Amino acid sequence: MPTSLLEILRAIPDHRRREGKRFDLATVLLYATLSMVAGANSYRQMHEFIRIHLQRLNEAFGLRLPYSPSYTGLRLILQNVDPTSLEAAFRRHASSISTPPPSDGLVAIAVDGKTLRGSFDAFSDRKAAHMMSALRQADQIVLGHLMVEEKSNEIPAAPELIEALGLKGCVFTLDAEHAQKNVRARDRLGQSPADPGQGQSTQPAPQP
């Protein structure tokens, strides 16, 4: 039986001061996640989703969020969450979901990279964020993410993500750029690194 997402989110450390814990962190994370699944792509839209559906959400999950945090409040709460702990929580939840039986004996996992729309920051001279993801094709479950370092690319990030997931009995599909020979010896042989993968994620980075 899959572990409750709310239960997993409760394990994420809350680094807020005691006087700043007006809203339960796990509850906010759960409702924010549901708002994004429903199409919210900004903190304002997250706030509106929670405000409109607050009673229904509280009744469905047996929670008592008193009211929807303001969009600035949501931003402060979410931006201060440890991304490593959050990623670990979602990987744990994804791994707890039973894998559909494959027809050919192998589970297909698609590994791909996307640039997060809206993550480019010209003021801070920061490039758009690039993220690798592993998708289980049978049930469209994302098993994990890995941010590509700014001065790197998808080629070294893909095996790092695959190794971190620790999956057995799977076949991984990747873009053609990962078919290069001697990938591990690329730096030693002077092979030029590939550019980051093309395309943009359908899930933009949250905006105020």
How many angstroms separate the CA atoms of 177 and 88, rounded?
28
Decide: 135 and 112 in contact? Cβ < 8 Å.
Answer: yes
pLDDT at residue 138, as a whole number: 84
pLDDT at residue 32, as a whole number: 97
Query: What does each of the 208 residues of the chain score in pLDDT, given as a tens digit?
Result: 456 899 999 999 998 888 778 899 999 999 999 999 999 999 999 999 999 999 999 999 999 999 999 999 999 999 989 999 999 999 999 988 887 776 667 889 999 988 877 666 666 667 778 889 999 988 889 999 998 887 778 888 888 999 999 888 888 988 877 777 665 555 544 444 545 444 444 455 555 5
Cβ atoms within 10 Å, residue 57: 19
Burial of 155 (0-12, 13-18, 19+ CB in 10 A): buried
pLDDT at residue 199, as a whole number: 44
pLDDT at residue 208, as a whole number: 56
pLDDT at residue 124, as a whole number: 62
In angstroms, the Cα distances linking 62 to 24, 28, 59, 162 are: 13, 14, 5, 37
